[in-house]
């Protein structure tokens, strides 16, 4: 995995929150769905928030990847900041991303250059409203998930908070989810999946010289999602306070060695309507203007 991991680091926390949120809201039972959907919509409606996200991947009990991100968002200010760290093997990389004054600023921990890009966000982002999936998409997803939604539970706590959970294993996991999960894990070790968002510095090599090796096994046979555990804590004010996910995948590599991969995600949400993102003063700092040419074509001068 090369240095453009910083783009992944910038977004994995936010993406993780939405991934777990979307999965649980779509799969919850009737009562659970109502409780969770209300909390999710209330959380999305907050003008600002802070998310602390942690993700780890282990292979047969040994940690192969760990990442943390401190994400601060404020819709009224059209601002955000991310401080991310990713550790793979013996290497650790950090990055900071700032959205301010209509621009996005990227700073890698092992580089003194601040890369600045115009922030051309969709209208919904400027208005601070996240889009919901089309109704047809929700209906198709519900059909694919079948009776899984009935397996979710919601428990009320003494302080007025709620705990929503969906734990699946074996045949409870829909075939489409198992197939997609197996495909992603079996392909992830190729390295190409880490290769999006290339930085082009006017050289033949579109990638920066430093690289980060992630010792993720390439599973080729008998790849199967064994368990999916999704949990969320809903505050007494009906906003999401915590999201957790754990996915276990098994399979064998080309040498026939058995692997058990465990992906864990933990997200804490706080600072509702009280969060002010970090800003960076670029005065006197080395900067570089970049532009984004769209999906798949990367970042350029």
- Residue-level pLDDT, tens digit, the chain, 301 residues: 333 433 344 344 444 444 444 444 444 444 566 677 788 889 989 999 999 999 999 999 999 999 999 999 999 999 999 999 999 877 899 999 999 999 999 999 988 999 999 876 554 444 444 455 555 555 555 555 556 667 778 899 999 999 988 888 988 887 777 787 777 777 776 655 444 344 444 333 334 434 556 678 889 899 999 999 989 999 999 999 999 999 999 999 999 999 999 999 999 999 999 999 999 999 999 999 987 655 444 445 4
Q: How is residue 1 annotated by DSSP?
A: -
> CA separation (Å) from 174 to 165, 168, 191, 227, 264?
17, 9, 27, 11, 20
Strands (E), the chain: 48-59, 62-74, 79-88, 91-100, 103-108, 114-118, 153-156, 162-169, 221-234, 240-252, 258-270, 287-292, 299-300
The number of C-alpha atoms within 13 Å of 186 and in the hemisphere containing its C-beta is: 18
Interatomic CA distance for residues 195 and 174, integer angstroms = 29
| Residue 154: half-sphere exposure toward Cβ, Cα within 13 Å | 21
């Amino acid at each position: 995995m090369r240095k453009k991991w910083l783009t992944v680091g910038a977004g994995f926390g936010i993406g993780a929150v939405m991934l777990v949120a979307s999965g649980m809201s779509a799969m919850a039972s009737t009562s659970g769905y109502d409780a969770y959907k209300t909390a999710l919509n209330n959380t999305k409606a907050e003008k600002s928030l802070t998310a602390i996200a942690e993700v780890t991947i282990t292979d047969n009990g040994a940690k192969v990847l760990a990442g943390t991100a401190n994400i601060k968002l404020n819709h009224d200010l059209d601002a955000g900041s991310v401080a991310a760290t990713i550790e793979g093997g013996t290497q650790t990389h950090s990055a900071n991303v700032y959205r301010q004054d209509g621009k996005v600023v990227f700073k890698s921990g092992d580089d003194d250059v601040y890369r600045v890009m115009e922030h051309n966000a969709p209208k919904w982002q400027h208005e601070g409203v996240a889009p919901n999936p089309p109704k047809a998409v929700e209906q198709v997803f519900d059909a694919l998930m079948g009776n899984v939604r009935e397996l979710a539970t919601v428990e009320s706590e003494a302080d007025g908070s709620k705990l929503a959970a969906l734990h699946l294993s074996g045949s409870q996991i829909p075939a489409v989810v198992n197939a997609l999960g197996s495909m992603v894990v079996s392909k992830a070790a190729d390295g190409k999946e880490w290769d999006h968002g290339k930085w082009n510095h006017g050289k033949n090599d579109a990638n920066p010289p430093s690289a980060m090796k992630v010792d993720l096994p390439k599973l080729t046979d008998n790849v199967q999602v064994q368990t999916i555990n999704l949990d969320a804590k809903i505050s007494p004010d009906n906003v999401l306070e915590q999201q957790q996910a754990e996915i276990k995948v098994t399979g064998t590599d080309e040498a026939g060695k058995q692997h058990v991969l465990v992906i864990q995600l933990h997200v804490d949400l706080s600072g509702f309507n009280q969060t002010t993102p970090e800003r960076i003063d670029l005065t006197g700092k080395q900067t570089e203007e970049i532009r984004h040419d769209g999906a798949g074509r990367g970042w350029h001068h």
